């Protein structure tokens, strides 16, 4: 098992290229199930989660090549509709094959998913929506058995809670359904928007893209001539590098970045005293004269993203004053608190709120990664800490960050990968 060794404190400088968005690429790979032809995709991130989903589709009968961020995938020859536990257990996003498989074949078996242990993310919303579209669903032996022998039918879906993967799954299912589907309380994340835009550009009638109400006219089972596309850049990776610059009070420039997707993150960093220069697809963060405390409430897009909560908590530990972070989306997304405290951060957790008394004198320590974004928070803290930090169980990091130690080394960090 790998670990990262980081020597701090450090000052960062230079440029870092932001990879394609993992959370956009995953549903787009699942979307290939709906395609009548091979699809070529540019800017595909080469991280563990992407490779896992590609393995799943290959096991179902798809063929693909992934080389230098260029993906060619052909799902036209899929000959199996069973997504088995051995692959699905490692990644919750594998549930995204449920909607397209059921819509295309009228039946499928998908293992209940696994992934980061950050709290309940039930698939009930997905299943209820598919049942409204005419599916018969039984859960047995750890598998979702879904049938719609006459095809899915358009319906009005009202999500009781905003769900990103739920919205994506139903958008894909609706694309091949018979009739019109209306999704109310749809997620508005950029990753959802790109999925809808690609389907729309490929001939599927979708209105309301980017809003919380989507209307999709299904093709009545006809596969879609999906056009080639490029994956949007990763706003969470970009936000993580911005926080790395902030926690070391450094100036760095992000390239291949879509700053319009980072408004909530940039706004909070500005509140803390940092300034920015934007130019086309580049974004430069400038040091703060004094790092101010912050108050954060996580919420759905365009609000502050839960996937940036841990990184900002690490940053708040060196701010001058009392910061407050409230997690409103996932009830167990504070497992990094105890590890940050091992490094000297003055944190107090009560229910869904963490108070951070800064500035803390962070010290290097051995810490354990518990989930993807918590792992990046520990790396950030290590950059600002005095001494050497070892971050263990970094397979979590490899799920979502491409060439992390290489990118940080280019910026001037002293960071190496080792084996336990």
**Active-site option among 10, 108, 116, 196:** 116
Tell which residue, 158, 146, 160, has the closest CA to residue 98: 146
Contact, 241 vs 310, CB < 8 A? Answer: no
Helix (H, G, I), strand (E, B) or coil at 158: strand
For residues 261-290, one letter each, b for 16 or more C-beta atoms within 10 angstroms of the residue's C-beta and e for the rest, the string is bbebbbebbeebbbeeeeeeeebbbeebee
Tokens of 394: 């970094």
DSSP state of 112: P
Distance spanning both ends of the chain, measured CA to CA = 6
Over 242-300, what HEC string results?
Answer: HHHHHHCCCEEEEECCCHHHHHHHHHHHHHCCCEEEEECCEEEEECCCCCCCCEEEECC
User: Does the annotation mark 116 as catalytic?
Assistant: yes
For residues 179, 180, 181, 182, the Cα torsion angle rounded to the nearest 10 degrees is -160
Separation of alpha carbons 180 and 218, rounded Å:
6
Separation of alpha carbons 357 and 326, rounded Å:
15
Tell which residue, 84, 96, 83, 76, has the closest CA to residue 30: 96
Residue 276 φ/ψ region, left for φ over 0, alpha for ψ in the -120 to 50 degree band, beta for the rest: beta
Burial class (CB in 10 A: 0-12, 13-18, 19+), 386: middle
Residues carrying an active site annotation: 116
């Amino acid at each position: 098992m790998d670990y990262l060794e980081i020597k701090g404190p450090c000052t960062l400088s230079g440029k870092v290229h932001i990879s394609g968005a993992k959370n956009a690429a995953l549903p787009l790979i699942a979307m290939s199930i709906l395609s009548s032809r091979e699809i070529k995709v540019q800017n595909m991130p080469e991280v563990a989660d992407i490779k896992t989903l590609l393995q799943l589709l290959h096991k179902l009968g798809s063929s693909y090549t992934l080389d230098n961020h260029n993906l060619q995938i052909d799902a036209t020859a899929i000959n199996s509709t069973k997504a088995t536990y051995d692959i699905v257990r490692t990644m919750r996003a594998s549930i995204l094959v449920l909607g397209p498989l059921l819509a295309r074949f009228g039946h499928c078996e998908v293992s209940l998913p696994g992934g980061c242990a950050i709290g309940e993310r039930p698939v009930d919303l997905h299943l209820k929506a598919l049942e409204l579209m005419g599916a018969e669903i039984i859960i047995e032996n750890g598998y979702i058995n879904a049938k719609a022998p006459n095809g899915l039918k358009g319906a009005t879906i009202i999500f009781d809670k905003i769900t990103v993967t739920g919205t994506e799954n139903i958008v894909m299912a609706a694309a091949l359904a018979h009739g019109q589907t209306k999704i109310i309380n749809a997620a508005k994340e950029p990753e959802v928007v790109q999925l809808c835009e690609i389907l729309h550009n490929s001939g599927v009638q979708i209105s309301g893209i980017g809003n919380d109400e989507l209307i999709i006219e299904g093709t009545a089972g006809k596969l879609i001539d999906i056009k080639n596309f490029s994956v949007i850049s990763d706003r969470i990776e970009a936000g993580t590098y911005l926080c790395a610059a902030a926690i070391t009070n450094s100036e760095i420039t992000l390239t291949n970045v879509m700053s319009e997707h980072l408004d909530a993150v940039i706004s909070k960093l500005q509140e803390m005293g940092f300034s920015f220069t934007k130019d086309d697809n580049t974004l430069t963060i400038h040091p703060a004269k004094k790092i101010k405390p912050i108050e954060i409430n996580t919420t759905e897009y365009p609000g502050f993203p839960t996937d940036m909560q841990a990184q900002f908590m690490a940053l708040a530990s060196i701010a001058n004053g009392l910061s407050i972070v409230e997690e409103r989306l996932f009830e167990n997304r504070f497992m990094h608190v105890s590890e940050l405290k091992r490094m000297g951060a003055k944190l107090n957790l009560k229910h869904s709120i963490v108070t951070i008394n800064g500035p803390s004198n962070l010290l290097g320590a051995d810490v354990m990664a518990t989930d993807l974004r918590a792992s990046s928070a520990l790396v950030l803290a290590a950059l600002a800490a005095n001494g050497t930090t070892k971050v263990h169980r970094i397979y979590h990091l490899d799920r979502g960050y491409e060439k992390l130690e290489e990118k940080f080394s280019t910026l001037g960090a002293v960071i190496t990968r080792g084996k336990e």
